[in-house]
Amino acid sequence: MNRFKLIVATLATCLLALPAVAEVKIKEVVSPGGITAWLVEDHSIPFTALELRFRGGTSLDAPGKRGAIYLMAGLLEEGAGDLMAQDYAKALEALAASFSYDTSKDTTSISARFLSENRDEAIALLSDTIHQPRFDQVAVDRVRGQVLSGLRSDTKDPNEIAGKAFAAMTYGDHPYGTDGKGTIDSVTALTRQDMIDAHKAVFARDRLYVGAVGDINAEQLGALLDTLLGDLPESGAAIPGPAEVTIPGGVTVVDFDTPQSVALFGQIGIDRDDPEFFAAYVMNQILGGGSFESRLMTEVREKRGLTYGVYSYLVPRDLAAVYMGSVASANDKMAEAVQVIRDEWRRMATEGVTEKELQDAKTYLTGAYPLRFDGNGPIASIMVGMQIQGLPIDYIATRNDKVNAVTLEDVNSFAAKLMDPDGLHFTVVGRPVGLESSAQ
């Protein structure tokens, strides 16, 4: 039972420490076949973490096929080559390797870890998984049943209801406006051929990013990459264009009979490559970035006891940027929580932050940076995130300088420009007393 659950901002990586510096020596490796990867060699434990990420994610679903890519990713562990699902699982168990799959709006990821002593066998199995997934009809139906069960549960989950409503309002018909898991109707209608098409849409070399960490050297990694990925097609489905963001100020109440209301709130955000991004990042840390000391936690939880947790987070996705937050509060307290949060939004816009807040935030952000590099898997994932964001390979050594370079004037002029208390929208799911949907 944690004191609170941290919500990690969607920011990828950052910096160097003020105390000791995490030394992460990244090497760029280009395989003989021309595949680029970032590598951190560490031979102290005899295994390797390999992260493969393909840009596009569930936003590549074909029209009318919502949920196809999510279902396809769920089927990758359901048999490949000559092995049907259970024999495939047994083969993986016998190698003591693990492959996991994840899809988001922007990416599809494969996270693998395998022992040094049977690396070749593990890679052969992973290669079959990527190139020859079986998509047996019986497996399609079985996994579809699991997805549908999850979708049915989502219809009664206040957090899911809030997320769907906020996304639909914000992004409309753009793929960001709907759930990548699909709907009960769309998933029910998916066919085996749709899985084959979704597979083709996602896995291609022109959108591939690779990170490897652990007991492997550059030469071994190069050979492995060609075996594993050399035969991928050059290109896949076209990535959609940017989403238009529409967030009117106000409140939407979605009626749901539950004792505690759940709210998502948000406004327009800022792109990751915007020159003011670090000013925004520091500002958010002070407002609601996940520590006990944030203004939102202080005002909503510590002083008033209105919630167990309240957070704000920048969401700079590939195709749109928003600034979001979340809170949960008993039905008879949500109205006050909403008011306090909107007041804090206004205070940030009009008063900005203090020099002490700025210094504390910088010390925290720079000091916390090396704590992220805490294992082969996390480091591989961070390196892939850096590549996707177009950051240079020496970024880790310079990131803290970027945080430290942010001035009080940078934060406060940015806050005055971005923070829009009247444009902030709250989507509340529950039976909040004294809150009603604003007139549209």
Partner 1 sequence: MIKRIAWATAILSTSWTTAAIASEELVSSFELNNGMQIVVVEDHRAPVVQHMVWYRAGSADEPKGQSGVAHYLEHLLFKATDKLEAGELSATVAANGGRDNAFTSHDYTAYFQRVASDRLELMMSMESDRMVNIRLTEENIVTEREVILEERNQRTDNNPRALFREQANAVQYHNHRYGVPIIGWRHEMETLDMDDALSFYGTYYAPNNAILVVSGDVDPNEVKSLAEKYYGVIPANPDLPERLRTEEPPQTAARRMTFKDPRVAQPYVQRSYLAPERDSGDQETAAALFLLAELLGGGTTSYLANALQFEKQTAVYTGAFYSGMSLDDTTFSLLIVPSEGVTLQEAEDALDGAYAAFLEDGVDAEQLDRIKLQLRASEIYARDNVDGIANRYGRALTSGLTVEDVQAWPDILQAVTAEQIIAAAKQVLQPEVSVTGWLMRDEEVSQ
332 to 351, contacts with partner 1 by CB under 8 A?
333
Please state the φ and ψ torsions of residue 291, each to the nearest 5 degrees.
Answer: -90, 165
Residue 62 found at the interface with partner 1 (CB under 8 A): no
273 to 292, contacts with partner 1 by CB under 8 A?
291-292
Contacts (Cβ under 8 Å, ≥6 apart) of 99: 76, 77, 92, 110, 111, 112, 126, 129
68 to 87, contacts with partner 1 by CB under 8 A?
77, 85-86
Find the binder of partner 1 among 132, 152, 217, 273 (CB under 8 A). 152
The site map against partner 1 for 192-231 (x = CB under 8 A) is ----------------------------------------
Residue 401 found at the interface with partner 1 (CB under 8 A): no
Find the binder of partner 1 among 82, 93, 185, 422 (CB under 8 A). 93
The site map against partner 1 for 2-31 (x = CB under 8 A) is xxx-x----------xxxxxx---------
Q: Strands 208-214 and 36-41: what pairing?
A: parallel
Please give the size of the binding site for partner 1, defined by CB under 8 A: 78
Find the binder of partner 1 among 363, 398, 407, 438 (CB under 8 A). 363
Question: Distance between CA atoms of 96 and 60, rounded to whole angstroms?
Answer: 33
Please tell me whether residue 18 adopts helix, strand or coil conformation.
coil
**Least distance in Å: CB of 138 to partner 1?**
8
Q: Strands 260-268 and 107-115: what pairing?
A: unpaired
Q: If you write DSSP's letter for every residue of 92-161 in order, what string do you get?
A: HHHHT-EEEEEE-SSEEEEEEEEEGGGHHHHHHHHHHHHH-B---HHHHHHHHHHHHHHHHHHTT-HHHH
Residue 43 found at the interface with partner 1 (CB under 8 A): no
The site map against partner 1 for 154-193 (x = CB under 8 A) is xxxxx-----------------------------------
**Least distance in Å: CB of 6 to partner 1?**
8
Are 264 and 324 within 8 A, CB to CB?
yes
**Least distance in Å: CB of 413 to partner 1?**
25
**Near partner 1 by CB under 8 A, which window of 26-34, 52-60, 343-351, 368-376?**
368-376
**Least distance in Å: CB of 131 to partner 1?**
21
* Location of structure tokens 């749709």: 194
Question: Distance between CA atoms of 64 and 240, rounded to whole angstroms?
Answer: 15
Are 379 and 113 within 8 A, CB to CB?
no
Residue 364 found at the interface with partner 1 (CB under 8 A): yes
- Please report, as a single letter, which amino acid is at residue 432: P
Provide the 8-state DSSP code for 276.
Answer: T
Label residue 204 exposed, middle or buried (CB < 10 Å: 0-12, 13-18, 19+).
Answer: middle
Q: Measured from the CB atom, is 85 or 232 closer to partner 1?
A: 85
Residue 146 found at the interface with partner 1 (CB under 8 A): yes
Find the binder of partner 1 among 36, 153, 398, 407 (CB under 8 A). 153
Residue 113 found at the interface with partner 1 (CB under 8 A): yes
Are 38 and 27 within 8 A, CB to CB?
yes
124 to 143, contacts with partner 1 by CB under 8 A?
141-142
The site map against partner 1 for 249-268 (x = CB under 8 A) is --------xxxx-x------
Residue 100 found at the interface with partner 1 (CB under 8 A): no
Ramachandran sector of residue 26 (left: φ over 0; alpha: ψ -120 to 50; beta: rest) = beta
Q: Measured from the CB atom, is 375 or 392 closer to partner 1?
A: 375
Residue 305 found at the interface with partner 1 (CB under 8 A): yes
**Least distance in Å: CB of 91 to partner 1?**
10
Question: Distance between CA atoms of 352 and 280, rounded to whole angstroms?
Answer: 12
Find the binder of partner 1 among 200, 218, 308, 315 (CB under 8 A). 308
Question: Distance between CA atoms of 380 and 209, rounded to whole angstroms?
Answer: 11
